[in-house]
Amino acid sequence: MNVLLMGNLSEEDKTAAKNIIDKSTILTFFQDLNEDEKEESLTKAEIVVGGSLSDEQLSKAKKLKMQQIFGTGVNRHNLQFFKENGIILCNSHAHSFIIAEHGFSMLVAASKNLLTSDQLLRQGIWDPQRGTSVTLFNKTILFLGFGEIAKNFKKFCKPFDMRYIALKRSETCDDPEVTVFLPDKKKEAIEQADFIFNSLPLTPKSTDFLDAEDFMVMKPDTIIVNVGRGATINDKALYDALKDRKIRGAAIDVWYDYPDRRGGGEQEQQPNPCYPSSYPFQELDNIIMSAHRAWVTDLSFMDLRKELFLNVNRFIKREQVKNIVNLEEGY
DSSP notation for 209-269: SB-HHHHHTS-TT-EEEE-S-GGGB-HHHHHHHHHTTSSSEEEES--S---SB--BTTBPP
Judged against a pLDDT cut of 90, whether residue 132 lies above it is answered with no
Mean pLDDT of the residues in the chain: 95
Longest dimension (CA), the chain: 66
Q: Are strands 223-226 and 140-144 parallel, antiparallel or unpaired?
A: unpaired
Q: Topology of 2-94+299-316 in CATH? A: Rossmann fold (3.40.50)
Residue range 231-244, pLDDT digits in tens: 999 999 999 999 99
CATH of 96-289, one of 3.20.20.140, 3.40.50.300, 3.40.50.720, 3.10.300.10: 3.40.50.720
- Please give the residue that has the higher pLDDT: either 247 or 300: 247
Please tell me the pTM assigned to this model.
Answer: 0.91
Q: What are phi and psi of 143, to 5 degrees?
A: -95, 125
Banded model confidence at residue 325, pLDDT cuts 50, 70, 90: very high
Residue range 177-209, pLDDT digits in tens: 999 999 999 999 999 999 999 999 999 999 999
Domain ranges of the chain: 2-94+299-316, 96-289
Banded model confidence at residue 300, pLDDT cuts 50, 70, 90: confident
CB-hemisphere CA count at 13 Å for 271? 5
How many Å from the N-terminal Cα to the C-terminal Cα in the chain?
27
Q: How many CB atoms within 10 Å of residue 96?
A: 19
